[in-house]
Structure formats: structure tokens, C-alpha cells
A and B are shown apart, each in its own frame.
Chain A
Amino acid sequence: MHHLLRRDGIMGRDQIRSALIKIFREKFQIVEPGVDENLRDAYEFDSIDAVELLHEIEIILGTKLTQAEKKSAMDIRTINQIIDYIEALSSARRLAKPSDFEENLSTVEQ
């Protein structure tokens, strides 16, 4: 389980990037993609891959993503944009429902 959440619910960009690099290597056989590389152009990373990645992000966050959140990810092309996306999701959950967030956190930590 890729657990990246600190007790305060804040995730560092470096931590997220490291986790993503690991996911790309293990799940997609893409080794060390550049953070601003267009993943579709460079690695044929398509919408099917994106859906697989969203599931990995759900595991990182310890929470389900909504359909709207998933659809908003479909234009993402680079690792940096994915990090931005995860940061935004993380913050939104922390601000919206801190108690639920703590619950998610404990689940992920098991």
C-alpha cells in the first residue's frame, strides 16, 4: 500500500513523485519518466492507463474518487500535473471532512 499521508494530512511533492515513479515502473513498465514529459506522446499512456492510475491514486489517498474527480483527470499529461492533481485532492479532503480523513488514514495505515 502506497501510504503517503502524514498525520496532518499533508503530502510532500517529493513523496508523491517518488510514489508515482514507483507506480509507473511497477504497473506500467515506464521507467523514470521526466516530470514534464507528455506521457501520451512519450509512452503511449492512454485513457485505459489513466483509469488504472486513478485506482492507484485512490489507494494513495485511502479514499474513493468521485466520477467528477476522475473525469477532471482525463486531460492530465505529465507527472507534474498528476502531482498537482493529488495535492489538490488531498487538500480538498482534509478541508472538507477532517474526521473522515483521519478515518481513511487509519485504514490505509493498517
Chain B
Amino acid sequence: MMARRVVITGCSAITPIGRTRQEIVRHLLEGVSGVKKLRSDGLLTDHIHSGVYGTVDYPIEYDFKRSHSKTMGPVSYYACQVAKEALEDSGLDQEFITSGRLGVAFGSTHGSPSAQRSIYKTFFTETNHRLASVGAVDYLKSMVHTTAVNITKMFGITGRVISSSTACTTSSQSIGFGYETVKFGMQDAMLCGGADEYDTTTVAVFDNLLACSTEFNETPHLTPRPFDVKRDGLVVGEGAGALLLEEYEHAKNRGARILGEVIGFSCNNNGGDLILPNIDGITKTLTLALETAAIDASEVDFISAHATATKMGDVIEAQAIGSIYGQGPVVAGLKSYVGHTMGACGVIEAIITLYMMKERFIPPTLNLEQVDERCAMIRHNTRIMEKPIRTAAVQNFAFGGVNTCFILKKIDG
């Protein structure tokens, strides 16, 4: 089977710590958290114990035509904005974008939950019930693949569409499946990523499972605390990210700026419990990723851990990393800065890793003050480290027992 090199030629992110590379890097260097107090939604917030959220609290100027925006919920606004910027960043021309050689791999956790609420509200409120009607665009805003197809519509993309919706591994799968699609010659480029809008439903779900942080509601910047002895759970967040993956020769021949290379990807399932982290499944995923990349564990300089700051998740992940890598690569939990952006977390963590590769530094895991001894077998980072990263692993694990890991490599020049 044909196996081609796949490089990254464009990226863009909307995160709780900023939009641009400069802003995000500055906030990482200054230890600024994007976690804020949970905003009231007039529905669920009074029933939720967790009072924190990874928040995008700055305005975003959208310049979308009505014919495009009318089928978008907030999640698709995020998705189309980062897609637009990633395409612009890549420098791909309109002829290629619409040629059928470019596909889209993009997803979200729920579609647009605010659009779904609108549908339920139509039928479960008494006001004007006789004339109640689901809006013509409500489904298009709320369906699971809404981000992917709003992107194809906006840019006239006619290639493949993949729309994973696997909670925390959504955008990792987008990147991984997009990578495989280009690697094996089905498309010459894939626009990959994920997005999730501000949504208290997800908070309520994790809160009900006692997985959310609740002890830092008055000091949101002090949570989440991956690997820390005082960690008390995850912090849900919002955001989006897009990567343009492109076949290497195509990118080189058109003189594209190459931000990095995807050299491996793995995805598996624990084959059992849908919630509990599973060391065998996770260890297997991390091992498979190295095998697909055809590299040794000693070649990895940095690991972006999933590190949600749940009690057991961090321990299992640390044990899995320790069993494969020992104290080799530096490990950081980037969710400590932005919260758990769910369907966007994999791609946001990939983009932040690319920025770190470019700027030659590794930020500390924020709020990691005292490492839990059960997580102590890996090389944690509690200060800003000036260090070139040649190769990095980005790992994510989801409800449903889905595990992913992809390997990024820096390309000089």
C-alpha cells in the first residue's frame, strides 16, 4: 500500500488562552489560565456543583455570509472560523480547495447543544404551543456532523468527509483519520480538527459522575491540577482548532511553509468498561503510535498528556507513560491552561505543541505544585523549560474506552 509523508501546512485555534500563536505562547510563558467562573445558563447551572469553565471570553469577529451562517450553531461558527484561518495559513488556492483532492475531518461532541435546547424548548414550553414548530435549520445546526459540512459548504470542498464524534478523542481522530487518508493516497490534503461551544450539558454529565472539579469555584485559575496531589477533577472548556494536513511532495512543490509532520497515529478501544481508564488499552495505544511512526520511545522529547486531572485517569496515564518511556520525555498536561475542551482538545493540544516546537520551550503543567506519588514515575515539568522539541506525542482518551495517540515531528527550514 502506498504510504506517503503527511505534513502540516496550516493551523488555527480558538482557545481559552487566546487566538494567535503569540497570544497563546505569551499566556503559556506567563502561566495565565483560561479557566473562569461558570456562567449561568438559566437552566442547569443551579444544579451543577462545579463552578468553573475553560472560557473563551474575548470577542471574535465573524465575516460569514448569511447563506453560510444560517445553518450554523455556535460550534460551527468556531469550526468555520478556524477552518478559514487554517486554509488561509496554508496558502492553498481555490482551485485545489474545490478540486475534490481536499477533504474534511472535523467533529464535535454534540453538534450544537444550544440548537438542541432550542428544539426541546419548542415542545416543552407552554407558550404558543399550538404554533410550535422545529426550525428548518435546527437539525442542520445540531446534527453531529454540523461542523464538517458547514465547512465544506463555506469553502466549496468536495472531497471526503469524516466526522468523528467520540467525546474527548473527537479531534484526535480527525487528525489521525485525516493523516491516514492522505498517507494512503485517498486525498492529497485534509482539513482536520474539532470544536465545542459553551455548553453546560457536558459539565452536568461529568458533574453527575463526580468527575468535575468543585473545590476551586472561587479560585478558578487554580484548577484543573493534572498530576497534583490536590487535583479534584476536570474542568470543561470550549474552543476549536484546525490543522491542514497535506501530502509532503505536494506541499514542497508549491513552496508551502511546513509547520510539522505527522509521523504516526494509533487508535484502539479498551474493549470493556465505557468510563474507567484502562492501563492495558492506553499502554497499547501509546505503543502502537510509536510502531506506526517507526521510532523508538527514546526519540520522543515531549508528551502532551491527556491529563484531565481526574483522580484515577491521571494515575493510569502516568503509569502507562512510565512503562513505555520511563523518565525520558518531558510530560505536560496542557488542559491545566485551557480546561478540557472536549471535541477540540486533541487539535488544540497539537497546535500548542507545534507552537512549542517553533518557540523551543516547554511550559510547566499549571497548578502542579506537589506531584501525586502515584503519578511520580514520569518526568513532570513545573517550570518553563527552554528545550527544543524534535518529536512529540499527543495522547487523548475518551468515554467509551476510545484511546488515541499521534506523533508530531518538527521539520527544519
Contact = CB atoms under 8 A, between A and B. Distances in A.
B141 to A, nearest CB: 11
B126 to A, nearest CB: 13
How many interface residues does chain A have, given as a range? 10 to 19
Given A28-B66, A29-B66, A44-B66, A55 B71 contact: no
Contacts of B67: 44, 46
A49 interface: yes
A51 B131 contact: no
Given A28-B66, A44-B67, A52 B135 contact: yes
Given A48-B136, A55-B135, A107 B71 contact: no
Contacts of B66: 28-30, 43-44
Interface in A13-42: 28-30
Interface string B135-147: 1110010000000
A58 interface: yes
B131 A48 contact: no
Contacts of A58: 131, 133
A59 B140 contact: no
Contacts of A50: 136
Contact of B136 (A30, A43, A51, A62): A51
A107 B131 CA distance: 11
A48 B70 contact: yes
A107 B67 CA distance: 34
Given A44-B66, A48-B70, A48-B71, A55 B140 contact: no
Contacts of A52: 135-137
A29 B66 CA distance: 7
Contacts of B130: 64, 107
Interface in A50-75: 50-52, 55, 58-59, 62-64
Contacts of A63: 131
Nearest to B137: A48
B133 A48 contact: no
Interface in B70-111: 70-71
A55 B133 contact: yes
A97 to B, nearest CB: 15
Nearest to A52: B136
A55 B136 CA distance: 9
A28 B137 CA distance: 12
Nearest to A46: B67
A59 B71 CA distance: 22
A44 B66 CA distance: 9
Contacts of B65: 44
Contacts of A62: 131
A87 to B, nearest CB: 20
A28 B136 CA distance: 13
A29 B62 CA distance: 15
Contacts of B71: 48
Interface in B302-324: none
Nearest to B71: A48
A59 B78 CA distance: 32
A62 to B, nearest CB: 8
A33 to B, nearest CB: 13
Contacts of B140: 48
Nearest to B66: A29
Nearest to A55: B133
B157 to A, nearest CB: 19
A96 B369 CA distance: 77
A46 B140 CA distance: 14
Nearest to A61: B131
B326 to A, nearest CB: 56
Nearest to B134: A55
B127 to A, nearest CB: 10
Nearest to A104: B130
Contacts of A59: 131
Contacts of B135: 52, 55
Q: Which of B71, B131, B137 is the most central at the interface, judged by chain A CB atoms within 10 Å of its CB?
A: B131
Interface in B108-137: 130-131, 133, 135-137
A58 B70 CA distance: 21
B55 to A, nearest CB: 28
Contacts of A44: 65-67
Given A44-B67, A58-B133, 9 more contacts: A30-B66, A48-B71, A48-B136, A49-B70, A51-B136, A52-B135, A52-B137, A62-B131, A64-B130
18 contacts: A28-B70, A29-B66, A44-B67, A48-B71, A48-B136, A48-B137, A48-B140, A49-B70, A49-B136, A51-B136, A52-B136, A52-B137, A55-B135, A55-B136, A59-B131, A62-B131, A63-B131, A107-B130
